[in-house]
Structure formats: C-alpha cells, structure tokens
Chains A and B, each alone.
Chain A
Amino acid sequence: MKRFIGFVKKEFHHIFRDPRTMLILFGMPIAQILIFGYVVSNEINDVKIGVYDKSKDNITKEITNKITASGFFILSDNLNSDKEIEDAFKKGIIREVIVFEQNFAKKLEREGSASIQIIADASDANTANIVANYTESIINNYMREELWAEGLPYQINPEVRMLYNDELKGVYMFVPGTMALILMLVSAMMTSISIAREKEMGTMEVLLVSPLKPLPIVIGKVIPYMVLSFINAIVIIALSYFVFKMPIQGNFIFLLAETLLFIFMALSLGILISTASNSQMVAMFISMFALMLPTMLLSGFIFPIENMPKLLQWISAVMPAKYFITIVKNIMIKGSGIEIIWKETVIIVGMTLFFLMMSVKKFKVRLE
C-alpha cells in the first residue's frame, strides 16, 4: 500500500508542476463553459410578445398587465385566432405568445383551476427557454400573491410549448456536451499522455523492472486523473447551475454516479490508447483524432444526429459521449431516473469493460 501511495503522490507532483497540464485540467473546462455559455446569452430585455386572450375577463387582464409590467416583456400584438399566432411568429417579431383559455375566470371559480398556454419560438432555444421560465414565474407569483393571499386557492396551470424545436435541442446542450468533451479530454488524453511519457523518458523500464506490478502502475497513474476529472465535472455542473441557471431536475447523486461511470470509461480508453503509443506525440494524436473530433462532431453535441447521413449515424452509435450526453440531459432537464436511461448506462458500462479488458490484454509487463 505504501508503494502505491508513493506512486500516486509522484503522479500528483507531475500534474501540479506542469503549468500546461494544469491549464488543460482547470483553465480549459472553465473557459469552455463560459464561452459556450455566453455565446448563448441568458439576458432577456424587452422581449416582444403577443397575447391571445380568448376569455378577456378581469383575471386575464390582470395577468397580462403583470407580465408587461415586469419590464422584461413588451406587448406587441393582441391576437384573435390560432392562425394569427402562426403568422405572428413567422414575421419573427414576437418571441412568445400567451394564450388564455376560454372562460378563464369562470373556470377558476367553478373548477378551481384553469390553464395558460405559453408558446415560445424555440428556434433560439436558449432564449425561448428563459422567456418561458420568466413568464411562468410571473404567473406563479401572481397566483400566490394576488389570489392565494386573498384566500382564493385557485390553481393556474401554465403549459409551455416550444414551437419549431419542441424537444429543445441545442438548449442546454452545451453543458452536457462540454462535460463529455472535457471529461474525455482530461481522462483519456491526459492519462494516455502521462503513460506514454514514462515510456518516452525511459522511466517505464525502471518501473517494469521494479517489483511493482502492472495493475498498480496503471491504477496509480489513473487515480489522480480520476480525482481531477471528478472535480472538473463538479465545477462544470456548479457553473451551469449558478451562472447559467441550468436546472438539475433529477437526483444530484445519481448524476454524479453517472458522471463517475463516464470518467471510468474515458480512463480505460486512455489506458488502451497508451498501450498503442510509445511517445507523447502519438498518444496526443490518437486522442485528438480518435476521440476529440468524433466527440465534438458525431456525438450530437454540435450537429443533431438525426440529420446525419446513415453512415455517420452508425459511427455515432459507438461514440460513448453520445450516450453520456443523453444521460446528462435527461437527468438535468427532465429529471429522469435510472428507469428511463438504463439502456444508455448499460452501454457505457459495457464499453468500459471492453476497454479495460482490451488494455489489460495489451498492457505488457515487458518492453515488447
């Protein structure tokens, strides 16, 4: 055990003493999240909206006033039919339409509940999401402060509908996507490079000749990167939660567990790459071209998979990142549990085992 701790300690020395490694480990994830985050802006101001009030009673008017008085929205159109809604969106002036159902106030009095439809133009998915969230919270506020406070236990149900992009592709995609990319980079690339470096410097010769067995060597090399990757993942999640207000609907611990699984997968892939490379250059190139580019281009991070040609769709099916992105999206946005994403989880577990087996088979106790 002492041998092993000594080994891990040495590995941390390597990492903390190399400014470039530190930059890749910590600078890059933060920079990437911030860049992706701010490219899709989260500020909204004077967003033009339309209202289709089928009821035109006191309550609908009050709600409409509340919304326009918030300062975020400007009422640009009063609409009178479904047809007009579509036309208004197509003109591209308004970003959101609020539809009150017929007999809104009466329904509230009689049934205790009524619904409001919030339709957002999701071609700019991020803005649409924020706009809809704001609207929803204004309505909720109104419900609590104006109705409940006066002893009226009415329930107003906002129903959000995203037009043109109803599954919200692209929105919040950057968080799961960046997470996949960064974890892949840190875990797979850094591990493979650090093992290849020992080969290049000749220190691997001495390690192999020592009584240290190959498995502890590999685990010792991997643990520091595992710890750092995990910290990275938490930093990314925290940034997206606090800075970009991305919700975490599902179980946070479950999210971390899935993240750890993905890190494990990436590390085993890194070890596999290192068995095939004798120098840092080779490890770098394999990681770049076999991992980074496909992860960026084929995992659905940047380009939607269903728009790809069949051949690329097949290739994307073996991209571990594709499944991880689905998992993270589901947990964070939809709040899904294991019952929804067990398939993806099983696939990543399978990939991890496969890579581990391959690298154990290929890792040599000798130089040839």
Chain B
Amino acid sequence: MGNTLENMVEVKGLKKSYEQIEAVKGVSFSVSKGELFGLIGPDGAGKTSIFRILTTLMFPTEGIVRMMDLNVIKDYKTIRNHLGYMPQRFSLYQDLSVEENLEFFARIFGTTIDENYDLIKDIYAQIEPFKTRKARKLSGGMKQKLALSCALIHSPEILILDEPTTGVDAVSRKEFWEMLIRLKEKGITILVSTPYMDEANLCDRVALIQNGKIMSIDTPEKIIGNFGRKLWAVKSDNVYQLIQDLRSVNTIDSVFPFGEYLHITVKSDDDNLTDLITILRGNGHSGIEIQEIEANIEDCFMELMQ
C-alpha cells in the first residue's frame, strides 16, 4: 500500500488505562482506504480496547485517534454513521429470526435490506434459506455470517471486526476470510483482530500485538522476511524426550514444539547442525528428521516476544 492513499484510520501514541491496569501502552498505526488490516495477538493483548476506541465506544486515555480524518471524541456521531462494527461475541438478538435481525439493524441505520442488498448478497444468500429461524438456533458459522450481514447493511466505509473467527470451525473460518477479501475488493476498509497467527497471511498488513504494545507492523511477507535467522524443523519418535535433549545442547538457542515438529534456532547461523543427528542417535532417538525451513508468522511472533 502506498502512502499516497488516503488514511482511513490514524492512531498515534494511543494509551488506554483501566484504573491501575494499562491495557494499551502507546500504539501507533494507520490504515489506508481499501486495506485489509489485521491486529494479531493473544487474549489480553489490548485488541478489543483498541477497537472500542476506534468505534468511539471508549475514550483514549492518551494519544490521537482519527477515523476518516475525524476526531473520535468530538465527531463520534458522524463516525458512527460510516462504521460497521462486529463485536467479539456476535451481537445478535437471539430471540429474533435471521430476517428480523437484519431488518432491525437496517432500520436503526435508517435504511432497508433492499437498498443495500447487493453488498450483502454473497453472504446473506447463504443463510437466507433459514431466514425464519431464530438466531439462537444457528450454527456458529451461520451466526457469523448473519452478524457480518448486519454490520454491512448500512454500507459502511470502514468495517471493524473483533475476533470474528473465534469459536467457529475451520470451514466457516475459511469461508469468512473469502468473504472479507471480496468485501475488500469492493473498496471497504477492513480492520480485523484475531488470536490465530495463521490468519495473518490473509491480511494486506498486520500489526503483531502483545501486552498492549505493537511489536511489528508490516505486510506478512516482510515480517517473515525480517525473521533474519535460520530456522530448523526437527522431529523424532519421542517428542517429549526430544525437547529435553535439544534443550541440553548448548549450541541451540530456542526449542519450540510446532505441531509434529520442533522448531529450533541455533546460536550461530553458521552452524549447519551436522552433528545433531549423531547426538540425537546417541540419545536413543529414532525416526530423526532435520530440515531447514522458512519461518511463519507464529515463529516471528515468538521471536519478537523474547
């Protein structure tokens, strides 16, 4: 994304405290028009606080926050008209039907379903066969689609989604991201938060956030490119023993379980781990595999945390 594009979201030195706890500790970023921006980090990193400030639901304790070049404190009414927001728990009325929910949200934004049907067609069409079903009886994936339709019904310029994929199965998650990418193509600026590192790759740019601070902001490719160290995947038939044994090798820097493999970094990148197989064999390991691999976002996140 070039800097010449209009900034839809601009955050400078944002801090947010709740009584003694500082949840957001000085965060700056900007999001351009039409960008799909991801806020990636675990629970408690400050994602929801940031989003609630952006959506004008909370005041920043410190810092400048502008949405569409408007001030979130003074101009909150205008901002709210152009904002689509999906809070963490899909906020639907459980006792209303699919259609009634959508109609209600259309009404309060002063519009009708027909008026903006084009925008939500792709998404809503998938749940329309169940339009008389109560929201409470929908599956997680269907709730997610309905909540997204409701957030889009007034054709917002900015869409803010707080952990939309939490608690939803893999199929629905994948479909959801496909929908987001189609919305982005329609020119909507999208901010999405997620604790799942693998979703970072689907964003144009991501901010990795931990303990109220942004550790890195860039395109996923560049973040991975900045890993800057050799990374190895190691496997043997006894994972537990392998972790203990690798940790006792003093040329090895970090050892992390990573699915079937362990990801390790070594203290000197000149080290090609040629001795390691011998060492592990000596410790009684079988089925040993060692290969150099490219880091993923999760590796980068852990590297940045240390």
Do A and B share a direct contact in the complex (Cβ within 8 angstroms)? yes
Interfacial residues, chain A to chain B (CB-CB below 8 A): 2-3, 5-7, 9-10, 13-14, 17-18, 201-212, 365-368
CA gap between A3 and B90 in the complex, in Å: 22
**12 A-B interface contacts by CB (under 8 A):** A13-B93, A14-B95, A14-B96, A201-B94, A206-B85, A208-B80, A210-B80, A211-B81, A211-B108, A212-B108, A366-B59, A367-B52
B11 CB to closest chain A CB, in angstroms?
18
Q: Find out whether the CB atom of B81 lies under 8 angstroms from the CB atom of A206.
A: no
> In the complex, which of the residues A2, A10, A207, A365 has the most CB atoms of chain B within 10 Å of its own CB atom?
A10
Q: B107 interface residue, CB < 8 Å from A?
A: yes
CA gap between A367 and B126 in the complex, in Å: 33
CA gap between A307 and B291 in the complex, in Å: 90
- Candidates B55, B57, B91, B100; contact of A203 at CB < 8 Å: B91
Q: B186 interface residue, CB < 8 Å from A?
A: no
A61 CB to closest chain B CB, in angstroms?
71
Q: Find out whether the CB atom of A206 lies under 8 angstroms from the CB atom of B109.
A: no
CA gap between A236 and B92 in the complex, in Å: 36
Interface residues of B in 61-109 (CB under 8 A from A): 76-77, 80-81, 83, 85, 87-96, 100, 103-105, 107-109
A365 contacts across to B, CB distance below 8 A: 76
Known: A205-B85, A207-B108. A6 touches B55 (CB 8 A): no
> In the complex, which of the residues A18, A202, A204, A211 has the most CB atoms of chain B within 10 Å of its own CB atom?
A211
Q: Find out whether the CB atom of B85 lies under 8 angstroms from the CB atom of A209.
A: yes
Number of B residues near A (Cβ < 8 Å) is: 32
CA gap between A5 and B93 in the complex, in Å: 17
Q: Find out whether the CB atom of B56 lies under 8 angstroms from the CB atom of A211.
A: no
B93 CB to closest chain A CB, in angstroms?
6
Q: Find out whether the CB atom of B92 lies under 8 angstroms from the CB atom of A203.
A: yes
CA gap between A211 and B94 in the complex, in Å: 22
A189 CB to closest chain B CB, in angstroms?
19
Q: B110 interface residue, CB < 8 Å from A?
A: yes
Q: Find out whether the CB atom of A209 lies under 8 angstroms from the CB atom of B95.
A: no
Q: Find out whether the CB atom of A210 lies under 8 angstroms from the CB atom of B95.
A: no
Q: Find out whether the CB atom of B58 lies under 8 angstroms from the CB atom of A366.
A: yes
Q: Find out whether the CB atom of A13 lies under 8 angstroms from the CB atom of B91.
A: no
- Candidates B59, B81, B91, B94; contact of A205 at CB < 8 Å: B91
Q: Is the interface of A mostly helix, strand, loop or mixed?
A: helix
CA gap between A204 and B59 in the complex, in Å: 17
Residue of B nearest to A18 (CB): B95
Interface residues of B in 119-154 (CB under 8 A from A): 150-151
Q: Find out whether the CB atom of A3 lies under 8 angstroms from the CB atom of B91.
A: no
CA gap between A66 and B107 in the complex, in Å: 70
Q: Which 6 residue pairs spanning A and B have beta carbons closest together?
A: A6-B107, A202-B91, A203-B91, A205-B87, A209-B85, A367-B57
A6 contacts across to B, CB distance below 8 A: 103-104, 107-108
Q: Find out whether the CB atom of B57 lies under 8 angstroms from the CB atom of A209.
A: yes
A234 CB to closest chain B CB, in angstroms?
27
Q: Find out whether the CB atom of B77 lies under 8 angstroms from the CB atom of A368.
A: no
B107 contacts across to A, CB distance below 8 A: 2-3, 5-7
- Candidates A203, A205, A368; contact of B93 at CB < 8 Å: A203
CA gap between A7 and B103 in the complex, in Å: 10
A17 contacts across to B, CB distance below 8 A: 95
Known: A7-B108, A366-B58. A202 touches B77 (CB 8 A): no
A279 CB to closest chain B CB, in angstroms?
14
CA gap between A208 and B94 in the complex, in Å: 18
> In the complex, which of the residues A7, A210, A367 has the most CB atoms of chain B within 10 Å of its own CB atom?
A210
A14 contacts across to B, CB distance below 8 A: 93, 95-96
CA gap between A125 and B56 in the complex, in Å: 61
CA gap between A23 and B22 in the complex, in Å: 46
CA gap between A13 and B92 in the complex, in Å: 14
Add 7 more A-B contacts to A2-B107, A202-B89, A209-B80 (CB < 8 A): A6-B107, A13-B96, A202-B88, A202-B90, A207-B108, A209-B55, A366-B58
A10 contacts across to B, CB distance below 8 A: 93, 96, 100, 104
CA gap between A130 and B114 in the complex, in Å: 64
Q: Find out whether the CB atom of B109 lies under 8 angstroms from the CB atom of A210.
A: yes
CA gap between A17 and B137 in the complex, in Å: 14
A107 CB to closest chain B CB, in angstroms?
72
A87 CB to closest chain B CB, in angstroms?
66
A3 contacts across to B, CB distance below 8 A: 107-110
Q: Find out whether the CB atom of A2 lies under 8 angstroms from the CB atom of B58.
A: no
B88 contacts across to A, CB distance below 8 A: 202
A190 CB to closest chain B CB, in angstroms?
15
A13 contacts across to B, CB distance below 8 A: 93, 95-96, 100
B150 contacts across to A, CB distance below 8 A: 206
Q: Find out whether the CB atom of B93 lies under 8 angstroms from the CB atom of A211.
A: no
CA gap between A212 and B57 in the complex, in Å: 14
CA gap between A9 and B99 in the complex, in Å: 14
Q: Find out whether the CB atom of A209 lies under 8 angstroms from the CB atom of B83.
A: yes
Interface residues of B in 251-280 (CB under 8 A from A): none
CA gap between A148 and B96 in the complex, in Å: 67
Residue of A nearest to B92 (CB): A203
Q: Find out whether the CB atom of A2 lies under 8 angstroms from the CB atom of B110.
A: yes
